[in-house]
């Protein structure tokens, strides 16, 4: 695998995912024109597509062709996109820009931004139920995947982390609070993205358990790197408690731990190793 080109791999997977995402947003009637435009703006050109890329990678690792896992991978990207739109709203992070362009509510107004987030969240589940079963995916495995994705997006996952991030009194925030926020707000959906591919493939429990640890560790490392990018030392950031060097060290250790869980897959885990490295070497 010495000639493996990670950036090329990421761009190819992004293309695959983008083509699939496009298929799910063709609900254009005279009455849905506005929200259709808003959904397109939110999804394209999009970001790194890290979560669906992880889903396709673990599906492949566990013996399921990546394209079989595309509906669930796209549904996860829909949920991620909804979370960014709502997070940017004036009542949350009040962000003017996202991915170098106006945030959705700045471009389309707050009402449409809230509704676009709601649309993406509900559509995600419609896609999984409607398109998730293929010849190679057993219905019970799809059901398990939907359940774990719903859990990761909900109050014991991303939404729960966001509640603490946005509503917890700032003066009570300790490193434990920040660990909690990171684990739920960010790592939960990344972990679910990793597990979804394996669950759809019907992987053995031993593999699922190893991937659960891998997913959570890279999810935490991802958020620490995000904190470093933000350099925001005021609220719920690692930077508030640790130096940049300490943050990098923590992220590196998490990635090391994540990769150490992959030994049961042998050389086939090469792509997941590279994706773990990417979480801390990425520049955006």
CB 105 within 8 A of CB 89: yes
Selected from 48, 65, 130, 147, the binder of ligand GRG by CB under 6 A is 48
Applying CB under 6 A, which part among 14-22, 46-54, 68-76, 127-135 lies near ligand GRG?
A: 46-54
Residue 83 interacts with ligand GRG (CB under 6 A): yes or no: yes
- Candidates 66, 64, 58; CA nearest to 12 is 66
Applying CB under 6 A, which part among 3-11, 81-89, 198-206, 252-260 lies near ligand GRG?
A: 81-89
Site for ligand GRG, residues 233 to 272, rule: CB under 6 A: none
Q: What is the size of the binding site for ligand GRG (CB under 6 A)? A: 15
| Helices 50-61 and 270-281: angle between axes, nearest 10 degrees | 160
Q: Which residue is nearest to ligand GRG (CB)?
A: 47
Q: How many residues does the chain have?
A: 284
Residue 14 interacts with ligand GRG (CB under 6 A): yes or no: no
Structure letter (DSSP) for residue 98: E
Residue 143 interacts with ligand GRG (CB under 6 A): yes or no: no
Selected from 66, 75, 86, 152, the binder of ligand GRG by CB under 6 A is 86
Question: CA-CA distance, 115 to 145, in Å (whole number)?
Answer: 25
- Structural element, H or E, at residue 11: helix 6-23
Selected from 25, 76, 152, 158, the binder of ligand GRG by CB under 6 A is 158
Question: Which three-class secondary structure state does DSSP give residue 252?
Answer: helix
Residue 185 interacts with ligand GRG (CB under 6 A): yes or no: yes
CA quadruple 86, 234, 154, 279: dihedral, nearest 10: 90
Applying CB under 6 A, which part among 31-39, 43-51, 108-116, 255-263 lies near ligand GRG?
A: 43-51
């Amino acid at each position: 695998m010495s000639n493996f080109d990670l950036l090329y791999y990421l761009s190819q997977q992004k293309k695959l995912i983008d083509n699939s995402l496009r298929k799910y947003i063709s609900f254009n009637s005279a009455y849905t024109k506005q929200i259709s435009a808003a959904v397109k703006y939110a999804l394209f050109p999009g970001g790194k597509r890290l979560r669906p890329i992880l889903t396709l990678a673990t599906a492949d690792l566990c013996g399921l062709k990546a394209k079989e896992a595309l509906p669930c991978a796209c549904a996860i990207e829909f949920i991620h996109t909804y979370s960014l739109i709502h997070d940017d709203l004036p009542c949350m992070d009040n962000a003017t820009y996202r991915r170098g362009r106006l945030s959705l509510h700045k471009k389309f107004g707050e009402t449409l931004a809230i509704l676009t987030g709601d649309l993406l969240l509900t559509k995600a589940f419609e896609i999984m139920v409607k398109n998730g079963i293929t010849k190679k995916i057993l219905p019970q495995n799809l059901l398990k995947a939907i359940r774990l994705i719903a859990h990761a997006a909900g109050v014991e996952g991303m939404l729960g982390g966001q509640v603490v991030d946005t509503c917890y009194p700032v003066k009570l925030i300790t490193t434990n609070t920040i660990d909690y926020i990171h684990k739920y707000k960010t790592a939960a959906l990344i972990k679910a993205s990793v597990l979804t591919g394996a669950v759809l493939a019907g992987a053995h429990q031993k593999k699922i358990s190893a991937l659960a640890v891998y997913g959570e560790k890279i999810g935490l490392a991802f958020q620490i790197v995000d904190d470093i990018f933000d350099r925001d030392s005021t609220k719920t950031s690692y930077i508030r408690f640790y130096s940049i060097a300490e943050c990098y060290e923590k992220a590196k250790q998490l990635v090391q731990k994540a990769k150490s869980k992959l030994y049961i897959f042998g050389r086939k885990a090469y792509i997941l190793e590279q994706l773990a490295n990417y979480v801390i070497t990425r520049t955006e």
